[in-house]
Amino acid sequence: MSAPAPGASFSIRAAVVKDLDSIWAIESAVFGAEAWSREMVREELTAGHRCYLALTDDAGVVRGYAGLLAVGAEGDIQTIAVSPEARGSGQGRRLMDALLDEAGRRSVREVFLEVRADNSIARALYASMGFTEIGLRPHYYQPDDVDAVVMKLDLKERR
């Protein structure tokens, strides 16, 4: 995937099944051995109680995606990824903000997520958005055998 043009602007829209190939390419590039299978990504894009967003550049190329599972008062950030070419420009935060806005529209009160214990950049982003660390899931990420830090955000405190 080529890099976005210098100074490119990005938009966020609902992800659709037509985005599967682009999302799968980013999933594979970002998560490597821990990437979801292509079929799992397809299922997520089409499953009930889900909201998936696509980050696109000026040319309409998908440069990132994020997903939310919202059931009742609880939500779970299923995944979030920005292509390596588009990192460092605040797009991950934009995707998270959009997902949290959607969670609020769906009357979610608490949002949870898991993040690799060794991913200090993502952990700092989530903490800066108000998420707090509430637990640890040992050996969660396989095959790398990395723990997951469980984080929670009370949406009432976000507003």
DSSP strand pairing (74-82 vs 110-116) = parallel
DSSP strand pairing (74-82 vs 62-71) = antiparallel
65 catalytic? Reply is: no
Tokens of 38: 């292509």
Given 44, 114, 140, 141, which residue is catalytic?
114
Q: From the CB of residue 127, how many other CB atoms can be counted at a distance below 10 Å?
A: 12
141 catalytic? Reply is: no
Given 52, 65, 126, 140, which residue is catalytic?
126
How many Å apart are CA 98 and CA 79, to the nearest integer? 13
User: Of 1, 41, 35, 50, whose CA–CA distance to 18 is shortest?
Assistant: 41
- Show which residues are catalytic: 114, 126
